[in-house]
A = this chain, B = another copy of it.
Amino acid sequence: MNKKKEKGQLIVLSGPSGVGKSTVIAELLSQRDNIYFSVSYTTRQPRVGEQDGVNYCFVSREEFEGMIARNELLEYAEYVNNYYGTSLKAIQERLDAGIDVLLDIEVQGAAKVKARCPEAIFIFIIPPSFEELSRRLHRRNTDSEDVIAGRLEKAKVEFREIPHYDYLVINDKVADAVGEIEAILTAAECRVENRKGILAQFA
């Protein structure tokens, strides 16, 4: 019997700066097959060490506006005169091929995705406590006190959006968080509406 996935799942991951999302995503991608991490498009200049197609797909303002005009973006936003967005085409091709697609986007972008793809899986990652989030941001040692204070304030605003998500995963230990996300993806595969092909064999 064919247990192969009938269609990929779109997974939206959000969480505050400092929660350890990148580590969780890297671990998840290393453990799971058939999952594609969607790289965002941006018009901003690459920073030192950033690679095109890895950190972002770097495009010109003209190219980005062409994508907007052709309705090729699942969601996009403009920050500080630069565009950031998610290509619909790259995602759709993978989903149709039975590959899961993971998006790492902010709460506003997630809301836009939800409006267009309500069947996507929305996961919010939280730290074990607010104090621990503060400790992690300090430990990174990359931001000034002002910037950290700003990130913590922003986190509080983001937490208010959690009720719009399907799942809440606590990143206390990375392995546990990854395990919970894996369970969420496996459970989604088992949903009756995702196994219509199997079901048809018994009709």
Q: What number of A residues sit within 8 Å (CB to CB) of B?
A: 35
Residue A139 at the chain B interface, CB threshold 8 Å: no
A 192-203 binary contact with B (CB < 8 Å = 1; else 0): 100100110111
Copies assembled:
2
A130 to B200, CA, bound (A): 12
User: In the assembled complex, which residues on chain B have CB atoms less than 8 Å from the CB atom of A187?
Assistant: 167, 180, 183-184, 186-188
User: In the assembled complex, which residues on chain B have CB atoms less than 8 Å from the CB atom of A168?
Assistant: 190-192, 195, 198-199
Q: Which of B170, B190, B201 contacts A180 (CB 8 A)?
A: B190
Q: A132 to nearest B CB, angstroms?
A: 8
* Cβ contact within 8 Å between A170 and B126: no
* Cβ contact within 8 Å between A170 and B129: no
- What residue of chain B has the Cβ atom nearest to residue A184's Cβ? B187
* Cβ contact within 8 Å between B126 and A202: yes
User: In the assembled complex, which residues on chain B have CB atoms less than 8 Å from the CB atom of A32?
Assistant: none
- Known pairs A162-B199, A168-B199 / 18 extra A-B pairs, C-beta < 8 Å: A1-B128, A1-B170, A3-B170, A126-B202, A130-B202, A156-B202, A159-B199, A159-B202, A162-B192, A168-B195, A180-B186, A180-B187, A183-B183, A183-B184, A183-B186, A184-B186, A184-B187, A187-B188
- Could you list which residues of chain A lie within 8 angstroms of chain B, going by C-beta atoms? 1, 3, 124, 126, 128-130, 156, 159, 162-163, 165-170, 172, 179-180, 182-184, 186-188, 190-192, 195, 198-199, 201-203
